[in-house]
């Protein structure tokens, strides 16, 4: 229990995990849409963000859609995922990465995580192709804004003639070997959800170099209307196009992407320095080959410094030990001080809804399928990081004073 609260009162204003950071220009472009009465799913804001994002990311086409999830859904359809197809998917990610596989009747096969960037493990992917050589689709997310091992993953995909869909929802602006994330798949997506590095309040984009794919995505997203005087349909349609008002918010935010990344990076570096001497590490990245966007700063507690923590499906308890801590203690303590952290995204292979889906790991012995975490007992990588890791308050608007206080609160958990 954190006992040194005499010096500390809870934060007057809540310190968020990651909340929208507005600048004013958003209002200008929303108002522009209003004044010109382009209050629908066509207009200059949409055209402009499609142009600017394609240029920024370095792909030929960016198609503005209602959400990142809708973008993933259309990407899955373009990639040709069909009923009954097995699809290799990142395991430690947000469920939206792979829910659209299931919308299309596909079966996610979860691939365990590596320890260097917390993304899909190329070794586990290779093993998965040994078990399921027929698989033709891979969905890869860049967790918390950190690029995965894209070259290794691509090599394996190419050997097997598989298509990659890159979920860059969390990593807009992150760089791997000189190129922006979102271009490493055959199709990519980004998200403008309210908690992402920049936001439209909602929104997403599908990224491709193929003009036919871009045109199809635009057509499908506007109810698949054929070029006829009446509503004529030859294909299944969706109402997935982005609103010109939402695109106005995105348009206003785009010029602040680099500023947000610099703020997030400073937050990460301050945490890293602030936790020196503690038995913890920060979420890792490949310093030689990649520059993350540092969307969320995360902490991993050394195995030897973990106090006992047991998670059920909905609740958790832990036993405080001197000199040790656990994500639950840290998160509960932060919450008492009005700061928002979050557990690591619970791996998909541990989710009740996916309990029957295959899971491929090179490290574990399957024990990660249960919630019982026993240190050193051969859990897979995802379960291990979920048990020992947590996301720290990473809001752009957090002041240095607030962050210093958060660092002290965390440090005290190890007293």
Ligand X SMILES: *Cc1c(COP(=O)(O)O)cnc(C)c1O
Residues that bind ligand X (CB under 6 A): 67-69, 93-94, 96-97, 141, 167, 169-170, 191, 193, 204
State which residue, 146 or 191, has the beta carbon closest to ligand X: 191
For the chain, the straight-line distance linking the first and the last C-alpha, in angstroms and rounded, comes to 9
Nearest-approach distance from CB 152 to ligand X, in angstroms: 20
Q: How far is residue 62's CA from residue 209's CA, in Å, rounded to a whole number? A: 9
Q: How far is residue 144's CA from residue 345's CA, in Å, rounded to a whole number? A: 10
Q: How far is residue 118's CA from residue 112's CA, in Å, rounded to a whole number? A: 9
The residues near 162 (Cβ < 8 Å, ≥ 6 apart) are 88, 135, 136, 137, 138
State which residue, 99 or 338, has the beta carbon closest to ligand X: 99
State which residue, 2 or 94, has the beta carbon closest to ligand X: 94
Nearest-approach distance from CB 161 to ligand X, in angstroms: 25
Nearest-approach distance from CB 333 to ligand X, in angstroms: 26
How many residues does this entry show for the chain?
415
Q: What is the DSSP secondary-structure string of 211-237?
A: HHHHHHHHHHHBTT--SSSS---SS--
User: CB count, 10 Å around CB of 14?
Assistant: 15
State which residue, 143 or 306, has the beta carbon closest to ligand X: 143
* Token pair belonging to 269: 């570096």
Nearest-approach distance from CB 245 to ligand X, in angstroms: 16
Query: Tokens 């012995």 map to which residue?
Result: 365
* Token pair belonging to 38: 């382009």
State which residue, 244 or 333, has the beta carbon closest to ligand X: 244
Nearest-approach distance from CB 303 to ligand X, in angstroms: 27
The residues near 301 (Cβ < 8 Å, ≥ 6 apart) are 279, 280, 325, 326, 327, 388, 389
Nearest-approach distance from CB 66 to ligand X, in angstroms: 8
- Note whether 260 and 396 are within 8 A (CB): yes
Instruction: Quote the DSSP letter at residue 123.
Output: H
Instruction: Quote the DSSP letter at residue 14.
Output: P
Query: Tokens 């002041």 map to which residue?
Result: 399
Q: Which residues make beta-bridge pairs with 206?
A: 63, 189
Nearest-approach distance from CB 408 to ligand X, in angstroms: 30
State which residue, 69 or 263, has the beta carbon closest to ligand X: 69
Nearest-approach distance from CB 351 to ligand X, in angstroms: 14
* Token pair belonging to 5: 């609260």
CA atoms within 13 A on the CB side of 266: 14
The residues near 377 (Cβ < 8 Å, ≥ 6 apart) are 367
State which residue, 141 or 254, has the beta carbon closest to ligand X: 141
Q: How far is residue 241's CA from residue 65's CA, in Å, rounded to a whole number? A: 4
State which residue, 67 or 243, has the beta carbon closest to ligand X: 67
Residue of minimal Cβ distance to ligand X = 68
Nearest-approach distance from CB 70 to ligand X, in angstroms: 7
- Note whether 382 and 349 are within 8 A (CB): yes
State which residue, 72 or 409, has the beta carbon closest to ligand X: 72
């Amino acid at each position: 229990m954190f006992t040194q609260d005499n010096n500390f009162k809870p934060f007057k204003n809540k310190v968020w995990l990651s909340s929208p950071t507005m600048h004013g220009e958003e209002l200008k472009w929303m108002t522009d849409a209003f004044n010109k009465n382009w209050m629908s799913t066509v207009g200059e804001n949409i055209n402009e963000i499609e142009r600017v994002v394609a240029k920024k990311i370095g792909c030929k086409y960016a198609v503005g859609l209602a959400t990142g999830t809708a973008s993933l859904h259309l990407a899955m359809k373009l990639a040709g995922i069909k009923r009954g197809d097995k699809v290799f998917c990142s395991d430690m990610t947000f469920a939206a990465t792979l829910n659209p596989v299931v919308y299309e009747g596909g079966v996610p096969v979860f691939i365990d995580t590596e320890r260097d960037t917390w993304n899909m493990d190329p070794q586990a992917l290779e093993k998965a192709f040994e078990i399921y050589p027929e698989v033709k689709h891979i969905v890869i997310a860049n967790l918390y804004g950190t690029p995965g091992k894209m070259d290794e993953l691509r090599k394996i995909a190419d050997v097997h003639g598989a298509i990659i869909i890159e979920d860059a929802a969390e990593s807009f602006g992150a760089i791997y070997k000189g190129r922006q994330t979102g271009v490493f798949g055959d199709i990519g997506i980004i998200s403008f959800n309210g908690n992402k590095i920049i936001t439209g309040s909602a929104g997403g984009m599908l990224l491709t170099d193929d003009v036919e794919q871009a045109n199809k995505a635009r057509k499908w997203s506007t109810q698949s209307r054929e070029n006829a005087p009446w509503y004529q349909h030859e294909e299944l349609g969706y109402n997935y196009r982005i609103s010109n008002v939402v695109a106005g918010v995105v348009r206003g935010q785009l010029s602040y992407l680099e500023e947000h990344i610099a703020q997030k990076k400073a937050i990460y570096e301050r945490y890293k320095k602030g936790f020196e001497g503690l038995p913890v590490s920060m979420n890792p990245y490949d310093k030689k080959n990649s520059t993350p966007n540092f969307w969320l700063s995360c902490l991993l507690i050394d195995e030897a410094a973990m106090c006992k923590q047991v998670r059920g499906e909905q609740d958790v308890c832990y036993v405080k030990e001197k000199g040790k801590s656990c994500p639950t203690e840290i998160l509960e303590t932060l919450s008492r001080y009005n700061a928002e952290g979050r557990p690591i995204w619970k791996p998909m292979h541990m989710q009740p809804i996916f309990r029957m889906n295959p899971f491929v790991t090179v490290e574990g012995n399957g024990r990660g399928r249960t919630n019982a975490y026993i240190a050193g007992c051969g859990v897979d990588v995802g379960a291990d990081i979920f048990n020992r890791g947590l996301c720290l308050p990473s809001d752009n608007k957090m002041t240095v004073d607030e962050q210093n206080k958060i660092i002290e609160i965390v440090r005290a958990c190890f007293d």
